[in-house]
Amino acid sequence: MHPSTSYLLSWIILGAVVASSDTTTSTCDALSSVLSDVFFPESDIYNASISSYPFIQLRLHPTCIVRPKTSQDVSIAVNVLRESGCTKFAVRGGGHNANAGFNNIEDGVTIDMQSMNAVDVDKEVVRVGAGAIWQDVYDVVEPRNLSVLGGRIGVVGVAGLTTGGGISFFSPERGWVCDSVVNFQVVLASGDIVDVNATSRPDLFAGLKGGQNNFGIVTRFDLKAFPQGPIWGGRIAFAPEADTALVSAFTEFKNPHKYDPYAAGWVTLRYNGSTKQFTPTSILWYTRPELKPGALAQMTEVGPQVMNGMQEAYAGEFTRNASLVVKSASSRTIWATTTFHISPTIVHHIHSLWKSLVPKICETYAYARPTSELTFQSLPPSPQNGSHPNSLGFAPDSTPEKDLVFLQIIFYFWDASATEGLNNALKEFIKMFNEIAEEEGVKHKYIYLNFAAWFQDPLGGYGKEQVETLRHVARKYDPEGLFQEQVVGGFKLF
């Protein structure tokens, strides 16, 4: 059925229902009268959808869940939701943003894109349904000796990661994941299904690269692929006493004079509040199959090591193995982030502060069995001159910044009553880390949206001018503010 025909039909039906009560329940009834895949509490698919959120705090209970199979289904759903005038809704891709309410909703409608996960390759463009996870993509492209800029853990969604920026194995060489999009297919607030690319709606094209759910629902991502064989990499776990050497090695790795576009990865300092153990780890890759490349040598040679999983494999094998760890976790998870330029001392100072405070915090909330992680990663260099703009606030540059580090601080825990206290701890940590960066004169305004906490302002971190541009784009493509007023979750422009 043509979207506009089903839309009209929905409104004949909804008219009757809504006339009596304009509630979310009646919107769900209207949705289920025109779409086959609308699920209510107690149905198996509803329950499977809720339990597939990886972190417990994300398992909210919407009045109904819509699982569209086509862009037309999404268009119909958007029309019904818009005409309801008030029903709040959420959009879910892979469901891996840790902020409760960003990808699911209590007593509203959740549009769960999981059924739209087809992946097709057409020469060097990969068309990816917006409900796909990265493992779906690697599994299709790698047998063709291709790869894409994508997530480094297979269970993570294409949609959220790409519309929030996106950092890949290949980012030091090729930049942000969002910059590899050649076309977005999008359902706008009007219900229109449109193509968005460098020549068709270029303002929205830039907006979707960093503006996430502020403009519409992306239904398909067309990604540029490139020839790629296996890479070298993996995880190393170190003895607790190796932490300072590992931090020094990471600091050296980030020296912009030693920048190697094939070297990527991060270091994580972990504290388990139950065992009271610190475990430093690194996860590193070299995207050419060279064993022990110089750029990573300092980190791979830190000791003592308790486990060394460095090996040659396809990116999709690394992402599959990493997914097993995430899938088995299922805790409550909260995170926050900040960004700075590397200096000889900044990572050491931040690490020492965290190390001195985290045992006490975990002790205070011991009943929730918390674990904390402090991770340091490289930000991709700013785009090259001539790139199509994104919205992340990094101007295309002939001398891209190569010394940017972002940190992510996480608490995993198992008792909801510790949420407020641990969120406050996150806020305090970020404040103190920023003070250290300010004192050293290395603070950077960017806040990576995909790792930002709900209390942070990553859009503001793109810069005032960029936010104004994004607001203009939102007004142009969504003049009634559907994606501001009714999609309440996410980082909003207004």
Ligand X SMILES: Cc1cc2nc3c(=O)[nH]c(=O)nc-3n(C[C@H](O)[C@H](O)[C@H](O)COP(=O)(O)OP(=O)(O)OC[C@H]3O[C@@H](n4cnc5c(N)ncnc54)[C@H](O)[C@@H]3O)c2cc1C
| Site residues for ligand X per CB under 6 A | 91-97, 102-103, 113, 130, 151-153, 156-157, 159-161, 163-164, 166-167, 212-213, 217-218, 326, 450-451, 489-490
Of residues 50 and 436, the one with the C-beta less far from ligand X? 50
The helix/strand count (H/E) of the chain reads as 16, 20
Q: How far apart are CA 367 and CA 441, in angstroms?
A: 39
Q: How far apart are CA 450 and CA 448, in angstroms?
A: 6
Q: What is the 3-state secondary structure (H, E, C) of 79-120?
A: HHHHHHCCCCEEEECCCCCCCCCCCCCCCCEEEEHHHCCCEE
Q: How far apart are CA 333 and CA 455, in angstroms?
A: 15
Of residues 94 and 273, the one with the C-beta less far from ligand X? 94
Q: DSSP letter at 384?
A: B
Packed helices 346-364 and 243-253: angle between N→C axes, nearest 10 degrees: 140
Q: What's the closest the beta carbon of residue 438 comes to ligand X, in angstroms?
A: 26
Runs of H (alpha helix) within 274-376? 294-300, 315-327, 346-364
Q: What's the closest the beta carbon of residue 219 comes to ligand X, in angstroms?
A: 7
Q: What's the closest the beta carbon of residue 204 comes to ligand X, in angstroms?
A: 12
Of residues 95 and 370, the one with the C-beta less far from ligand X? 95
**What six digits make up the tokens of 243?**
């932490």
Q: What's the closest the beta carbon of residue 174 comes to ligand X, in angstroms?
A: 13
3-class secondary-structure state, position 385: coil
420 CB burial (10 A radius; 0-12, 13-18, 19+): exposed
Sign of CA dihedral 207, 213, 217, 219: positive
**What six digits make up the tokens of 400?**
């891209």
Q: What's the closest the beta carbon of residue 233 comes to ligand X, in angstroms?
A: 13
Q: How far apart are CA 14 and CA 83, in angstroms?
A: 9
Q: What's the closest the beta carbon of residue 150 comes to ligand X, in angstroms?
A: 8
Q: DSSP letter at 389?
A: P
Q: What's the closest the beta carbon of residue 52 comes to ligand X, in angstroms?
A: 11
Of residues 18 and 130, the one with the C-beta less far from ligand X? 130
Other C-beta atoms lying within 10 Å of the C-beta of residue 493: 21
Q: φ, ψ for residue 258 (rounded to 5)?
A: -105, 15
3-class secondary-structure state, position 463: coil
User: Is the link from the previous residue into 380 a cis peptide, with omega within 30 of 0?
Assistant: no
Q: What's the closest the beta carbon of residue 42 comes to ligand X, in angstroms?
A: 24
Of residues 130 and 242, the one with the C-beta less far from ligand X? 130
Of residues 232 and 436, the one with the C-beta less far from ligand X? 232
Q: What's the closest the beta carbon of residue 491 comes to ligand X, in angstroms?
A: 8
Of residues 211 and 389, the one with the C-beta less far from ligand X? 211
Of residues 18 and 172, the one with the C-beta less far from ligand X? 172
Of residues 102 and 365, the one with the C-beta less far from ligand X? 102
Q: How far apart are CA 487 and CA 210, in angstroms?
A: 17
Give CA angle at 120 (119, 124), nearest 5°. 120
Of residues 93 and 234, the one with the C-beta less far from ligand X? 93
Q: Which residue has the tokens 């569209």?
A: 68
Q: What's the closest the beta carbon of residue 225 comes to ligand X, in angstroms?
A: 18
Q: Which residue has the tokens 């960004």?
A: 339
Q: What's the closest the beta carbon of residue 137 comes to ligand X, in angstroms?
A: 12
User: Is the link from the previous residue into 3 a cis peptide, with omega within 30 of 0?
Assistant: no
Q: What's the closest the beta carbon of residue 125 comes to ligand X, in angstroms?
A: 18
- Position 459, amino acid: L
Of residues 91 and 368, the one with the C-beta less far from ligand X? 91
Of residues 160 and 172, the one with the C-beta less far from ligand X? 160
**What six digits make up the tokens of 35?**
């779409």
Q: How far apart are CA 207 and CA 204, in angstroms?
A: 5
